[in-house]
C-alpha cells in the first residue's frame, strides 16, 4: 500500500535531515535575479519539509513562511530554524496554505511539487501571490546512470524498493508545466550537484527515501545488506557519489 503523501516521511526525519542533498549556489543566484529578490522579500516555501531550502532562503535575509503538513518534519525545521525571526512555520498544504491573499512575492517548492495536486495547487498559488509574484519548482534529479555505482543503486531501487517505480520524482516529465504556468510560459535552469558518502552516509541517504523499506523492518534489514554489498563493490577509497542535476522550473501562474 502506498503511504499517504503527507505522512510518507514521518519515520525518516533523522536521515532526511542528515543525508538529503543541499542545492548549488547557482540556484539562489537564479532566484534572486529572475525574481528580483532583495533582503526582506516575502517567500513561501511550500512543502518545506525539514527546512533544507528554507535555511538557504533565511540566510539570504528573506522572510519565509514554511508551509508543511507533516508534523515530524516541521518540528525538525523548527528545532533548527526557530531562532531566526524571519522564519514562520505554517501548518498547511500546497492546496490550502492558510496564507493571506496576495501576501507572498515568490513561492518555492523544493523536492515537493510531485506530491501536490497540480490544479488545486495552481489555484491556491494564484491566490496567495502578489500580482508580479513567481513560482520556482525545484528538484535534485539524481542521475541514474552516472557511473557503475549509480546504475547498481538504480537497479536495486527498481527491483527491491516499496513503490519506487510509482513515485519516483525523476519522472518530472509527467508534470504538465505548460498547464501549470501562465500562458504555458516558464524558464528552465539546470546545474550539476553531487553528494559524497562513506558507508554510513550512503545507508542514511538510502533510508531517507520514502520508497525503500523502513529500517526497523525485516525487509529493511535485507535491504541494508544489499546496500552494504553495493558499497563494498563500488566504493572508491571508502566513498561513493550521488550525482544530481538540480532543475528549476520558474514562472508565473
How far is it, in rounded angstroms, from Cα 95 to Cα 4? 15
Sheet holding 240-251, edge to edge: 87-90, 63-67, 42-46, 104-110, 129-142, 240-251, 187-197
Which sequence spans correspond to the domains of the chain?
A: 5-142+167-194+244-251
Please write the tens of the pLDDT for every residue from 146-199.
999 999 999 999 887 666 655 555 557 678 999 999 999 999 999 999 999 999
Angle at 111 between CA 53 and CA 197, to 5 degrees: 80
Q: Is the pTM of this model over 0.85?
A: yes
Coil, strand or helix: which one is 216?
Answer: coil
CATH of domain 5-142+167-194+244-251: 3.40.50.150
Give the residue from 151, 103, 92, 93 showing the smallest Cα distance to 126: 103
Please write the tens of the pLDDT for every residue from 42-91.
999 999 999 999 999 999 999 999 999 999 999 999 999 999 999 999 99
> Which residues lie across from 187 on neighbouring strands?
250
Amino acid at each position: 500500500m502506498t503511504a499517504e503523501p503527507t505522512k510518507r516521511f514521518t519515520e525518516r526525519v533523522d536521515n532526511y535531515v542528515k543525508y538529503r542533498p543541499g542545492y548549488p549556489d547557482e540556484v539562489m543566484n537564479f532566484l534572486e535575479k529572475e525574481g528580483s529578490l532583495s533582503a526582506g522579500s516575502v517567500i513561501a516555501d511550500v512543502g518545506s519539509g525539514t527546512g533544507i531550502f528554507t535555511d538557504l532562503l533565511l540566510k539570504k535575509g528573506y522572510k519565509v513562511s514554511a508551509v508543511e503538513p507533516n508534523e515530524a518534519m516541521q518540528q525538525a525545521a523548527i528545532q533548527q530554524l526557530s531562532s531566526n525571526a524571519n522564519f514562520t512555520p505554517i501548518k498547511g498544504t500546497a492546496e490550502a496554505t492558510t496564507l493571506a491573499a496576495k501576501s507572498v512575492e515568490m513561492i518555492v517548492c523544493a523536492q515537493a511539487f510531485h506530491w501536490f495536486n497540480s490544479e488545486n495547487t495552481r489555484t491556491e498559488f494564484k491566490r496567495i501571490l502578489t500580482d508580479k509574484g513567481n513560482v520556482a519548482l525545484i528538484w535534485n534529479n539524481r542521475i541514474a546512470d552516472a557511473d557503475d555505482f549509480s546504475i547498481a543503486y538504480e537497479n536495486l531501487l527498481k527491483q527491491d524498493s516499496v513503490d519506487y517505480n510509482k513515485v519516483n520524482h525523476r519522472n518530472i516529465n509527467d508534470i504538465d508545466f505548460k498547464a501549470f504556468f501562465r500562458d504555458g510560459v516558464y524558464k528552465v535552469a539546470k546545474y550539476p550537484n553531487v553528494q559524497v558518502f562513506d558507508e554510513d552516509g550512503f545507508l542514511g541517504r538510502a533510508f531517507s527515501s520514502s520508497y525503500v523499506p523502513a529500517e526497523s523492518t525485516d525487509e529493511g534489514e535485507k535491504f541494508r545488506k544489499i546496500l552494504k554489498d553495493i558499497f563494498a563493490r563500488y566504493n572508491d577509497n571508502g566513498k561513493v557519489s550521488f550525482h544530481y542535476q538540480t532543475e528549476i522550473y520558474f514562472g508565473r501562474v
